[in-house]
């Protein structure tokens, strides 16, 4: 039975003030909002009145609907007429003429005089429930041919029946405020456009200033009120002191335009977000725009209004330049409201009503752009004499080339601390080879960028036949989490024909028993691997090799790298093939990776193949290493954070034994996908109630997609696919009617009628997102962390996220934040066969818990797969299960459970508490020093050492029922072995040491063993 939601959705904000209200948004008729079943009739209708005179029951009437449509073929779409008085659909309807401008109908007034509705864009929701594909209903003649003939509306109608009484169009109505076409989506008529073009025939482009509350939507058509009112060189608005005021300028290109830039002349600053700003790395960002002839582009100018400007007039000039064309200037005048009318929250740094678009200024946010540390990482140590860099639990020693000579880990085999014996990965130093080239290296120069980052540089000179033939500039960067980024820029001094440019790594065989990536699911390392680039169908560019307590991921890239889409959308935006590593030869052979195993070593060769290196042509052989594990696991902390994935009443959650609630989207406190600030008040109220119960509260919030409820969505769609990925459009009907085309339609949550659009992942939206998290986390009732449902951004963004949340926790005096990462299994054809843990490894240093996830197989996969692909342990974190509730017995071997409340974890949680596992030492089966093993190689044991004895989790991966006994390091350790009753998990039983226990396949036991 579902638990009750404590908060009901409510109207977020009062109706905003606007210069072009919905009631005056059509040139000919009034506009309003109605109530009806839009899944039956569509989102739009005209209200018609049949007057009494000459309007007997059944009388035919004609009407002209001034619909001013933007869909391509109005004549192909059904029109439904319904009588208000009886609610009956009128079957006798003939559409005489349907153009984009208007439609002429003849319909039968079946109930005589009164109100009739003409629904002119009905649609069907096809496709999958959460990924709909809407289509307009096709026009299907339904009128009785005899009736049509009698009223003279058919080819065989008798003459003299043309004159019919006319119904009156009272108004246009939409099914909701958000669905309305008023005022921006009613198109101009042909004659109106002809007059506009005749009046401005000499101008390359026209500018239409528009109120920020009326977001520009159409891309090819012009709004009717723009064309009727004409362009303008002035804008007047009302502002708040201290706000970032957004001026929206609609630019219509009458000829193809290039080199568009926008200049703001104001002592307070200001800029156009389409052309200027700060990129996601904190660097200045600038772009000149091109706009095709006959299209519309909205420009958004952010003007900081001085905090002391209340009661004054603020003026500025915005100039739009286009290459080869006279500039256009717009005089902007803002009346700044006096103190008594101003919003104090704005003066305090708040953003107020999101519909006023003040949050667009967050695209330039530099929050958390620094090289400072986050817990638990330590400052990087640099020993220049030995070229050795030290980080938490790992060291990186450089060869004279600046490439790694050795990577060493001191993580213990249990991965619970960093004071273990040193484990080395390499048999020989890494090298980049070009056949016939002898390298000479300059001294390495180090730069300490901050406690969390060190950079080094080295110049290589390549000699062939006694002459300098090629130069290479190496830049390496080490971050405190263990990410090592190399940029190797190769520039031949003369044209060279080479057999290969390749990266060579030689690992100690004993150090790398496990592998994941390049088509290898997580688990035991294969003896050989032959892999070639195939970005069209494979989201693969990285391979991880290692053991539980020492490993390395290699990712191959170049300067054209862009993060691809994931989670069902990889093929819409796949990897960009690196022209360096993925060189394609004339015979079709392309670069790739080979792995070979010998008696004592594993050799990895990333090759680009035979090629010609033209003189002076730059090639970027970029790659990244991730040194694992990133941090020690904390099993006790993991077990103390008991999760509940439903925003039920906090008292109910606490009674269930949970300590943390994850607030998903499409729930009352946070109904909208990835924009929880839209319901900030209800969210903070719920978080406060959780805090009063001693619970931590976290929010679902990522950037993979964005709700259509975000007022910024339409403006962001104007940014040349910087924020939203280009795609086929279509999807939900709202997107088709308001977003136009050139997007990827994403998740649809029908219970809250929320629609999302897929983002590109790496853009200035990162700045907005990090700034929004700061807003969510700040204050006594700030969120305690986030739940990520797959990740569209990279480790740079993830680090900023961690910093923002951690610093907010420090300000509040609470423990650090909790960040979860949930992923469906990406090792599928539509996701490009990418193991989720490998795909997201760069984010794992800053994640606390994995939730892997839908479509994972917990029953037929082996323990190595569990360890590498599911558990997170080799990377310094722990995980949970999701698909089908998981396998609770195997899960306990890794400290994993299913997701409550879908899975009832209370019996296990009670067992943990009764045996104080939160304070016990966990020693997994992967540790050679594990104190307990079993007599069967496919039955594994993990031990928790407590003050009173041991708790041992057993799980079987054997194909058949097996009798197993426990093997103790100290044979005298066990005096008794009890399996307490745990509801849904096991029945009570007692076992004598040395005596067998019977385990069925895929099952297990939890034993309490006394000393």
User: Per residue in 208-234, pLDDT tens?
Assistant: 999 999 999 999 999 999 999 999 999
Taking each helix axis from N to C end, the angle separating 680-692 and 765-777, rounded to the nearest 10 degrees, works out to 40
pLDDT in tens, 523-540: 999 999 999 999 999 999
Per-residue pLDDT at 120: 98
Per-residue pLDDT at 17: 38
Is the pLDDT at 5 greater than 50? The verdict is: no
88 or 19: which carries more pLDDT confidence?
88
Is the pLDDT at 585 greater than 90? The verdict is: no
Q: What share of the chain in percent tops pLDDT 90?
A: 88
Q: Give the CA distances from residue 7 to residues 413, 669, 710, 779, in Å, rounded to whole numbers and listed in that order.
A: 47, 6, 21, 21
pLDDT in tens, 965-981: 999 987 656 778 999 99
Cα(947)–Cα(920) distance, integer angstroms = 8
Per-residue pLDDT at 154: 55
Structure-token pair, residue 720: 């040349």
Q: Which residue has the tokens 């496919």?
A: 938
Cα(780)–Cα(198) distance, integer angstroms = 61
Cα(473)–Cα(439) distance, integer angstroms = 12
Is the pLDDT at 161 greater than 50? The verdict is: no
**What is the total residue count of the chain?**
1011
Q: What is the CA radius of gyration of the chain?
A: 33
909 close to 641: Cβ distance less than 8 angstroms: no
Largest CA distance in the chain: 111
Backbone φ/ψ region at 150: left (φ over 0), alpha (ψ -120 to 50), beta: alpha
- Beta strands at 696-700 and 660-663: parallel, antiparallel or unpaired: parallel
Banded pLDDT at 46 (limits 50, 70, 90):
very high
Q: Which residue has the tokens 């109904």?
A: 671
What value does the mean pLDDT take over residues 520-525?
A: 97
Is the pLDDT at 6 greater than 50? The verdict is: no
pLDDT in tens, 605-639: 999 999 999 999 999 999 999 999 999 999 999 99
Dump strand ranges (E) for 279-339: 284-286, 289-291, 296-304, 313-322, 325-336
Per-residue pLDDT at 1011: 58
The stretches of 595-743 forming alpha helices (DSSP H) are 635-640, 650-655, 680-692, 713-716, 733-738
Q: Give the CA distances from residue 133 to residues 529, 717, 732, 770, in Å, rounded to whole numbers and listed in that order.
A: 41, 20, 6, 32
**Mean pLDDT, the chain, whole residue set:** 93
222 close to 254: Cβ distance less than 8 angstroms: no
Structure-token pair, residue 725: 């990925």
From 145, 28, 41, select the one nearest 87 (Cα to Cα). 41
* CA 996 and chain centroid, separation: 50
What value does the mean pLDDT take over residues 557-569?
A: 89
Cα(51)–Cα(798) distance, integer angstroms = 65
Structure-token pair, residue 713: 């969505």
Q: How many CB atoms lie within 10 A of CB 586?
A: 6
From 753, 634, 976, select the one nearest 132 (Cα to Cα). 753
Is the pLDDT at 13 greater than 50? The verdict is: no
Banded pLDDT at 55 (limits 50, 70, 90):
low
Per-residue pLDDT at 7: 34
- DSSP readout, 116-143? EEEE---EEEEEETTEEEEEEPBP---S
Banded pLDDT at 153 (limits 50, 70, 90):
low
Backbone φ/ψ region at 740: left (φ over 0), alpha (ψ -120 to 50), beta: left
Cα(550)–Cα(129) distance, integer angstroms = 44
pLDDT in tens, 734-793: 999 999 999 999 999 999 999 999 999 889 999 999 999 999 999 999 999 999 999 999
Structure-token pair, residue 614: 């033209």
List all residues 6 or more positions away from 396 whose beta carbon is below 8 Å from its beta carbon: 388, 389, 390, 404, 406, 407, 478, 484, 627
From 179, 180, 172, 175, select the one nearest 48 (Cα to Cα). 172
From 659, 607, 610, select the one nearest 849 (Cα to Cα). 659
158 close to 165: Cβ distance less than 8 angstroms: no
Least confident of 19-28, 29-38, 343-352, 622-631: 19-28
What value does the mean pLDDT take over residues 548-569?
A: 93
Q: Which residue has the tokens 């997107």?
A: 735
Per-residue pLDDT at 1003: 97
Q: What are phi and psi of 239, to 5 degrees?
A: -125, 165
Banded pLDDT at 564 (limits 50, 70, 90):
very high
57 close to 116: Cβ distance less than 8 angstroms: no
What value does the mean pLDDT take over residues 998-1009?
A: 96
Per-residue pLDDT at 345: 84
The single-letter DSSP state of residue 843 is G
Helix (H) or strand (E) holding 613: strand 611-613
Is the pLDDT at 107 greater than 50? The verdict is: yes
User: Three-class SS of residue 758?
Assistant: strand
Is the pLDDT at 201 greater than 60? The verdict is: yes
Banded pLDDT at 157 (limits 50, 70, 90):
very low
Cα(261)–Cα(323) distance, integer angstroms = 9
Per-residue pLDDT at 12: 36
Q: What are phi and psi of 502, to 5 degrees?
A: -140, 150
257 close to 275: Cβ distance less than 8 angstroms: no
Q: What is the 3-state secondary structure (H, E, C) of 421-484?
A: CCEECEEEEEEEEECCCEEEECCCEEEEEECCEEEEEEEEEEEECCEEEEEEEEEEEEECCCEE
Backbone φ/ψ region at 403: left (φ over 0), alpha (ψ -120 to 50), beta: beta
Per-residue pLDDT at 14: 40
List all residues 6 or more positions away from 37 whose beta carbon is below 8 Å from its beta carbon: none
List all residues 6 or more positions away from 810 whose beta carbon is below 8 Å from its beta carbon: none
What value does the mean pLDDT take over residues 507-535?
A: 97
Q: Which residue has the tokens 């079957």?
A: 91
User: Three-class SS of residue 635?
Assistant: helix
Cα(721)–Cα(743) distance, integer angstroms = 8
Cα(240)–Cα(205) distance, integer angstroms = 31
Cα(377)–Cα(659) distance, integer angstroms = 26
Banded pLDDT at 54 (limits 50, 70, 90):
low
Is the pLDDT at 958 greater than 50? The verdict is: yes
**Bond preceding residue 65 cis, omega within 30 of 0:** no
Structure-token pair, residue 916: 């104080």
From 3, 1, 9, select the one nearest 665 (Cα to Cα). 9
Beta bridge partners of 489: 473, 620
Q: How many CB atoms lie within 10 A of CB 297?
A: 22
Q: Give the CA distances from residue 823 to residues 304, 539, 586, 787, 854, in Å, rounded to whole numbers and listed in that order.
A: 40, 15, 39, 11, 7
From 729, 730, 748, 834, select the one nearest 791 (Cα to Cα). 834
Least confident of 309-318, 444-453, 561-570, 939-948: 561-570
Least confident of 18-32, 268-282, 335-349, 640-654: 18-32
Torsion of Cα atoms, 86 then 88 then 94 then 96, to 10°:
60
Least confident of 384-388, 605-609, 862-866, 947-951: 947-951
What value does the mean pLDDT take over residues 281-299?
A: 97
What value does the mean pLDDT take over residues 992-998?
A: 91
Per-residue pLDDT at 767: 98
What value does the mean pLDDT take over residues 828-832?
A: 93
- DSSP readout, 39-55? HHH-SEEEEEEE-STT-
What value does the mean pLDDT take over residues 371-393?
A: 97
847 or 152: which carries more pLDDT confidence?
847
List all residues 6 or more positions away from 465 whose beta carbon is below 8 Å from its beta carbon: none
Q: Which residue has the tokens 């960002």?
A: 285
């Amino acid at each position: 039975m579902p638990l009750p939601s404590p908060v009901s959705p409510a109207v977020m904000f009062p109706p905003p003030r606007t210069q072009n209200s919905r009631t005056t948004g059509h040139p000919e008729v009034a506009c309003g909002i109605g109530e009806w079943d839009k899944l039956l009739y569509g989102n739009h209708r005209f209200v018609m009145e049949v007057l009494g005179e000459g309007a007997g029951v059944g009388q035919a009437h004609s009407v002209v609907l001034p619909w001013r449509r933007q869909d391509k073929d109005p004549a192909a779409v059904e029109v439904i007429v319904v009588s208000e008085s009886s609610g009956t659909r009128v079957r006798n309807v003939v559409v005489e003429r349907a153009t984009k401008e208007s439609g002429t109908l003849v319909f039968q007034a079946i109930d005589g005089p009164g109100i009739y509705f003409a629904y002119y864009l009905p649609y069907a929701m096809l496709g999958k429930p959460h990924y709909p594909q809407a289509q307009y209903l096709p026009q299907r003649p339904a009128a009785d041919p005899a009736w049509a003939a009698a009223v003279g509306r058919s080819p065989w109608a008798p003459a003299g029946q043309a004159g019919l009484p006319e119904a009156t169009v009272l108004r246009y109505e939409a099914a909701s405020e958000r669905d309305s076409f008023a005022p921006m989506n009613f198109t101009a008529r042909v004659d109106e456009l002809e007059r506009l073009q005749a009046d401005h025939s000499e101008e390359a482009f026209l500018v239409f200033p528009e109120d920020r509350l009326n977001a520009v939507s159409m891309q090819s058509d012009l709004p009717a009120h723009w064309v009727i009112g004409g362009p303008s060189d002035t804008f007047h608005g009302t502002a708040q002191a201290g706000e970032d005021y957004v001026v929206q300028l609609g630019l219509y290109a009458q000829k193809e335009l290039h080199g568009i830039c926008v200049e703001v002349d104001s002592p307070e600053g200001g800029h156009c977000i389409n052309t200027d700003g700060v990129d996601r790395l904190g660097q200045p960002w600038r772009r000149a725009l091109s706009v095709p002839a006959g299209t519309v582009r909205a420009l958004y100018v952010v003007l900081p209004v001085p905090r002391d400007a209340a009661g004054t007039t603020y003026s500025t000039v915005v100039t739009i330049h286009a290459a080869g064309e006279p500039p256009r200037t717009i005089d902007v005048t803002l009346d700044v409201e006096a103190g008594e009318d101003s919003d104090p929250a704005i003066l305090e740094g708040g953003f107020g009503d999101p519909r006023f678009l003040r949050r667009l200024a967050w695209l330039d946010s530099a929050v958390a752009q620094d090289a400072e540390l986050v817990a638990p990482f330590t400052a990087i140590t640099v020993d220049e004499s030995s070229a050795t860099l030290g980080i938490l639990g790992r060291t990186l020693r450089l060869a004279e080339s600046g490439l790694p000579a050795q990577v060493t880990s001191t993580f213990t085999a249990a991965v619970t601390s960093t004071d273990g014996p040193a484990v080395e990965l390499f048999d020989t130093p890494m090298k980049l080879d070009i056949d016939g080239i002898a390298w000479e290296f300059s001294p390495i120069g180090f730069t300490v960028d901050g406690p969390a980052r060190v950079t080094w540089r080295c110049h290589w000179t390549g000699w062939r036949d006694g002459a300098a033939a090629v130069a290479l500039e190496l830049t390496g960067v080490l971050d405190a989490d263990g990410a090592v980024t190399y940029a190797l820029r190769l520039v031949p001094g003369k044209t060279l024909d080479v057999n290969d440019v390749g990266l060579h790594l030689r690992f100690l065989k004993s150090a790398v028993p496990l592998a994941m990536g390049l088509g290898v699911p997580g688990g035991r390392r294969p003896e050989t691997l032959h892999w070639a680039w195939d970005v069209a169908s494979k989201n693969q560019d990285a391979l991880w090799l290692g053991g539980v307590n020492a490993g390395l991921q290699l990712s191959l890239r170049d300067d054209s790298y862009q993060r691809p889409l994931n989670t069902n959308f990889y093929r819409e935006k796949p990897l960009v093939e690196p022209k360096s590593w993925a060189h394609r030869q004339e015979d079709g052979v392309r670069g790739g990776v080979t792995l070979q195993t010998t008696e004592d070593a594993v050799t990895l060769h990333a090759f680009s193949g035979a090629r010609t290196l033209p003189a002076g042509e730059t090639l970027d052989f970029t790659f990244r290493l991730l040194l694992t594990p990133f941090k020690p696991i904390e099993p006790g902390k993991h077990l103390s954070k008991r999760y509940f994935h439903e925003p039920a009443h906090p008292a109910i959650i606490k009674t269930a034994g949970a300590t943390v609630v994850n607030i998903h989207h499409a729930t009352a406190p946070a109904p909208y996908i990835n924009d929880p600030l839209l319901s900030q008040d209800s969210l903070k109220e719920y978080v406060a109630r959780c805090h009063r119960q001693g619970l931590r509260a976290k929010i679902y919030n990522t950037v993979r997609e964005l709700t259509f409820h975000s007022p910024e969505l339409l403006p962001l769609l104007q940014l040349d696919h910087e924020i939203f990925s280009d795609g086929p459009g279509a999807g939900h009907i709202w997107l088709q009617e308001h977003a136009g085309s050139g997007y990827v339609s994403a998740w649809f949550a029908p219970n809250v009628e929320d629609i999302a659009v897929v983002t590109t992942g790496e853009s200035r939206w990162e700045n907005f997102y990090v700034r929004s998290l700061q807003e969510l986390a700040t204050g006594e009732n700030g969120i305690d962390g986030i739940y990520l449902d797959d990740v569209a951004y990279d480790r740079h963004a993830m680090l900023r996220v961690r910093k923002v949340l951690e610093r907010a926790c420090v300000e509040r005096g609470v423990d650090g934040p909790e960040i979860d990462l949930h992923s469906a299994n990406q090792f599928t054809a539509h996701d490009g066969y990418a193991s989720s843990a490998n795909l997201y490894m760069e984010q794992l240093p800053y994640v606390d818990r994995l939730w892997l996830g839908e479509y994972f197989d917990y029953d037929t996969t082996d323990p190595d797969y569990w360890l590498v692909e599911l558990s997170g342990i080799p990377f310094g974190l722990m995980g949970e299960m999701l698909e089908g509730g998981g396998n609770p017995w195997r899960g306990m071997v890794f400290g994993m459970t299913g997701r409550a409340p879908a899975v009832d974890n209370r019996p296990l949680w009670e067992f943990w508490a009764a045996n104080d596992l939160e304070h016990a030492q966990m020693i997994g089966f992967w540790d050679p020093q594990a104190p307990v093993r079993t007599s069967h190689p496919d039955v594994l044991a993990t031990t928790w050492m407590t003050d009173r004895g041991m708790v041992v989790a057993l799980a079987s991966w054997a194909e058949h029922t097996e009798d197993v006994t426990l093997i103790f390091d100290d044979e005298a350790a066990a005096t008794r072995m009890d399996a307490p009753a745990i509801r849904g998990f096991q029945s009570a039983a007692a076992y004598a040491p040395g005596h067998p226990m019977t385990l069925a396949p895929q099952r297990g036991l939890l034993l309490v063993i006394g000393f």
